A and B are shown apart, each in its own frame.
Chain A
């Protein structure tokens, strides 16, 4: 890990937090593999909960993919600052004078890429197990990558903010989903709607506005990133 100096600039601090987070995942390889195994289990479980006939419907198929994503996200953001808080690294970072907004951005960047690293193999599992037809595959795949990136950015930003907020609470396991899911709902709705609209098997209703969903999907991360920067002093307290 690079040496922390008080004069370190913002980008270097951001990179440091990101690198530390990535390395901590590499050290505990089980956490990434465990998350992926958990997602794969859900992918197998969902057709049985909905019924194997119903899961063939395009809307249900897409819904199942994003529902699995929600579980993965909850698992990831729920323990976002756990390693740093338990090992005292977070206190050290703050004491070393690292920019608080850089810590937040580093963590958000990590969440975005970590989620993507789980989602890509999950996407392959989804295509195979849910029998995604070729016609749907070619129309969905070009949209799904920007969708996943924006979804992860929105989710990661809200998750990182709330992980800081609930860090000093006793019922963190209960509080995190209680706060996270309502705030993240708009991101999920936008992602599910946009993914579903791209599928040619889905009959779009008159007056469906794809542009407003894109606005929401890009607007939410911007708003929460701005709030994160403005509130970073309050979010991280020594």
Chain B
């Protein structure tokens, strides 16, 4: 079991460097290849980090809920799905925090403030807090079965926030710009869209490798816990 986990971890960690190189190339394109924006100047280039990071946060939180639902439906894979949901929420938490941080860095020169109680920003903060609460819940629940059970439920509840965050800019009066790339007739040029898409793909691949590594680490940690407790 341990040898198999070590092998899986090593296999995925070998893919980490190519995925990181791909991401660095995509960032290089965003910094040096695409032209300057006529309104924001070079500040807008943070879009190539901020947007993929935010999309990855959405993706992993939705996937965590998907794993949790699948775990409840297919009882046989409940443990496996709990590990998957746990790893996915780990990534969702980190990427929500990164989305908030990069958004704040972008907000300072464009809006003049680090933070505004705007619907998009507030709902993203809520999403991040729910993800944090998931981890606190797991660490405060000693019984493994209850931990899995309550963790899966909170993973599903956390996903309720994703559509609220996504549609917040359309529903409420917001300082945050509405969807630029998804919306038909958006104002972004095609080369910006292309590089952004390349960044998104690179970021998804990178997070996929990170997810597999984290998931293997969780499985190893649980095996260790089980061995300690004599389960």
* Interface residues, chain A, with chain B CB atoms under 8 Å away: 161, 165-166, 168-171, 174-175, 178-179, 181-183, 185-186, 205, 207-209, 212, 215, 223-224, 227, 231, 234-235, 237
Contact = CB atoms under 8 A, between A and B. Distances in A.
Interface core residue of A169, A178, A223, A231 (most chain B CB under 10 Å): A169
Given A178-B132, A186-B123, 14 more contacts: A165-B153, A166-B150, A168-B143, A169-B141, A175-B136, A178-B136, A181-B129, A182-B133, A208-B173, A212-B171, A231-B153, A231-B156, A234-B149, A237-B149
B164 A186 contact: yes
B48 to A, nearest CB: 29
A170 B133 contact: no
Nearest to B149: A234
Contact of B173 (A209, A215, A237): A209
B80 to A, nearest CB: 16
Q: Which 4 A-B pairs have the closest CB atoms?
A: A171-B140, A168-B146, A182-B129, A207-B173
B146 A179 contact: no
Main SS of the interface on chain A? helix
Interface SS of B by simple majority: helix
B133 A175 contact: yes
Contacts of A208: 173
Given A179-B133, A209-B171, A168 B72 contact: no
A168 B153 CA distance: 13
Interface string B111-123: 0000000000011
A108 to B, nearest CB: 15
B173 A182 contact: no
Contacts, number: 76
B143 A179 contact: no
Contacts of A227: 156-157, 160
A223 B161 CA distance: 11
Contact of B153 (A169, A174, A215, A235): A235
Nearest to A179: B133
A161 B140 CA distance: 17
Interface size class of B (residues with CB under 8 A): 20 to 34
Contact of A175 (B137, B152, B173): B137
Interface in B166-189: 171-173
Contacts of A181: 129
Contact of B136 (A171, A223, A234): A171
Nearest to B146: A168
B133 A161 contact: no
Contacts of B132: 178
B156 A165 contact: no
Contacts of B172: 209, 212
A237 B72 CA distance: 13
Contacts of B195: none
Contacts of B150: 165-166, 168-169
Contacts of A231: 72, 153, 156
B142 interface: yes
B156 A179 contact: no
B202 interface: no
Nearest to B123: A186
A198 to B, nearest CB: 18
A166 B157 CA distance: 13
B154 interface: yes
A223 B164 CA distance: 12
Contact of B152 (A169, A183, A186, A234): A234
A237 B149 CA distance: 9
Contacts of A205: 173
B144 to A, nearest CB: 11
Given A234-B72, A234-B149, A174 B154 contact: no
A182 B123 CA distance: 9
A169 B137 contact: yes
A161 B173 CA distance: 31
B22 interface: no
B126 interface: yes
30 contacts: A161-B153, A165-B150, A165-B153, A168-B150, A169-B137, A169-B141, A169-B146, A174-B140, A175-B136, A178-B136, A179-B130, A179-B137, A179-B154, A182-B129, A183-B126, A183-B157, A183-B160, A186-B123, A186-B126, A186-B164, A205-B173, A208-B173, A209-B172, A212-B172, A223-B160, A224-B157, A227-B156, A234-B153, A237-B146, A237-B149
